[in-house]
Amino acid sequence: MKKIILLGYAAATLTVGVTAYGLQMNIPITVVNGIDVFSGPSFTVSGNFGLSDFISVEAIGTVDLNFGNFTANAAGVITAPPVTNTGNNPGQTAPALPGAPLPGLPYAALLIGNLSLGFHQLFPADASAGLGSSAPPTDIFATRTIGDIFGTTIANGTVLEFRVNDINTSDNSGSFTVGNSRGQNVSDAWGMSSSVLVPLCLWGGLLLGRKNRWLASARVAQ
């Protein structure tokens, strides 16, 4: 009986673990062009999202900011040419000059936000985005909380806009296709956890039910 009770407690604990992860904000599939520097495509948020809720997002493609002399993925990690107009190489980033939406952060980085919330880098320029690699990926993923990205909650009906971090548009080309992650990040780690946790929760609940029925039968027998 002690084992059954302990399993019940474990099921309850695991259930809390499953539900505490947070809600995922939907990111509709959107094409962001290299010229979307001072304005860009937007979408309207459906639902209210707290600091621990999250975005799991993917961006495919590259943009170029200087007639082919500075090509980067959505994290702003340079993919080509071997030496850019800024003197950098693939696997590196270059900080944007004043006049960009986010000066000091990587050129070409995909930004999300609006004039009230400010604009924020969506994909961190880290090893998963090819930082330090001689051949950075052009299909990248990230899973981040709302608090990590915006530092505040996001209300239903908020309009969020995508932009590319640069100081001009006349020599820009290319595009990113951005949308919900197709399965990496929250993805694998969370998907594997939930596939184990949910059956355990159900099993624990079943054992608790059997225990309660056994106790009820015992009382009647007495």
Neighbour tally for 156: CB within 10 Å: 10
Instruction: Compute the CA torsion angle 198, 204, 208, 209 (nearest 10 deg).
Output: 50
Q: Which pLDDT does position 194 carry in this prediction?
A: 42
For the cut 90, the answer to whether the pLDDT of residue 196 exceeds it is no
Q: Which residues pair with 55 in a beta bridge?
A: 144
Q: Which residue has the higher pLDDT, 20 or 180?
A: 180
Tokens of 179: 């949308």
Helix or strand (DSSP H, E) at 33? strand 30-33
Q: Is the Cβ–Cβ distance between 56 and 189 less than 8 Å?
A: no
Residue 26 resides in a domain: yes
Mean pLDDT computed over 128-154: 98
Residue 66 resides in a domain: yes
Residue 199 resides in a domain: no
HSE-CB of 43 using CA atoms within 13 angstroms: 15
Residue length of the chain: 222
Question: CA–CA separation, 6 vs 2, rounded Å?
Answer: 6
Q: In total, how many domains does the chain have?
A: 1
What is the span of the domain harbouring residue 28? 22-187
HSE-CB of 13 using CA atoms within 13 angstroms: 6
Residue 4 resides in a domain: no
Residues 25-47 pLDDT 10s: 999 999 999 999 999 999 999 99
For the cut 80, the answer to whether the pLDDT of residue 2 exceeds it is no
Question: CA–CA separation, 186 vs 56, rounded Å?
Answer: 7
Residue 176 resides in a domain: yes
- Mean pLDDT across the chain: 84
Mean pLDDT computed over 49-75: 98
Residue 82 resides in a domain: yes
Read off the pLDDT band of 182 (50, 70, 90): confident
Tokens of 3: 């084992």
Mean pLDDT computed over 116-134: 98
Burial of 108 (0-12, 13-18, 19+ CB in 10 A): buried
Residue 10 resides in a domain: no
Residue 193 resides in a domain: no
pTM, full prediction: 0.76
